[in-house]
Amino acid sequence: MFSLKNKKAIITGGGSGIGKAMAILFAKQGAEVHIIELSEESARSAIDEIIATGGHAYTHICNVAKQQEVVSTFREIGPHDILINNAGIAHIGKADTTSEEEFDRVVNVNVKGVYNCLFASIPLMKKNRGGVIINMASIAAWSGLADRFAYSMAKGAVAAMTLSVAKDYISENIRCNSISPARVHTPFVDGFLQKNYPGNEKEMFGKLSKTQPIGRMAKPEEIASLALYLCSDEASFITGTDYPIDGGFLKLNT
């Protein structure tokens, strides 16, 4: 079950965190994995691990916020079966503390970046007679998170794009779903704590973990497993749906 043999997958931001976990798992399940990152160095660890275990993986240097770069990269990769829109940036701030420059940066990466990849991918999927798209949304799209104005707005846009794409291309055998994680323990979280709470990293990690009713953060591999299912033939009846993977955050918090 959940084989991706003979399938080609594109994963943006596939060099670290959730994207890296997806790249490694998808390759293990037989996919040819194409990682899109800002630099060769960013993708090196994931590529090396995949190749060391006999998988097939390639790096493509591209800024998802720049449409021509994205279109050229996707043409280079060619027909593909899976697109994971995972690349994104975080931001802390309220509506009146978020500068225009910061707002534009979040939109350019987290919203326009997803659009650019959809714009480049869908024509190739249509020629390939179908495909699967996963957009990484967030519980921030569905819940009021303090100090996450621009980030929450962007993830709400991702959720809306998911529904639109699912409806527009259902007759062309293209499925599109989104995944909304709560907090996931990635190197980004560790770096965030070191930068903002030096000396109190352990205490803050515990507090952030407990915001999920299940009492911990997710592991990147757990998000990757859900993505694998949604991209597999076993999920061929699923489209236009968001999947919270949140340790009970949305439904059980009071």
Contacts by residues 191-200 (CB-CB < 8 Å, ≥ 24 positions apart): 192/90
Strand order through the sheet with 8-12 = 56-61, 32-37, 8-12, 82-85, 131-136, 174-181, 242-245
Question: Does the annotation count 151 as an active-site position?
Answer: yes
Q: Helices in 177-232 by DSSP H: which ranges?
A: 187-196, 201-209, 220-231
Among 226, 236, 240, 244, which residue's Cα sits nearest to residue 81?
236
Among candidate residues 58, 115, 151, 229, the one labeled active-site is 151
* H or E element in which residue 245 lies: strand 242-245
DSSP label at residue 253: -
Please list the active-site residues.
151
